[in-house]
Amino acid sequence: HAHNVLALAKELELPHFPDLIHQFIFEQMCRPDNDQDPAEIPLAGCPRFAGKISIFNSASSRFYVPSDISGIGGMHVEHICACPLWQNEAPHNDCIFINMGSSTEGI
């Protein structure tokens, strides 16, 4: 698997993938203060991401839902899959997470 955005764009055959990531980061970081559509922001005005990437085919998240105590004390687990071959059939690729560092809120 690729280890940077440009290599992943080539692997996925999505030449505009880096631009989409920059727009996504802009939306996540600046959207509350800026009501412009990220697609209309010039790419030069979007934050850049040139870091290393890691690809995982699945992830799980454990979280507390105080309004739904059907789990053990309100705890829930969600599994997210992004697999090249889902149940030996078609690919299942629908997730991307960007870690901007330990000081950034969110995933």
Express each pLDDT in 53-97 by its tens digit: 888 777 888 888 887 766 677 888 887 777 777 788 888 766 666
pLDDT of residue 36: 72
pLDDT at 32 over 70: no
Torsion of CA 95, 101, 105, 107, to 10 degrees: 20
Q: Compute CA distances 58 → 17, 23, 43, 103, 107, whole Å.
A: 21, 24, 31, 24, 15
> 105 falls in which pLDDT band (50, 70, 90)?
low
The residues with which 40 forms a beta bridge, in sequence order, are: none
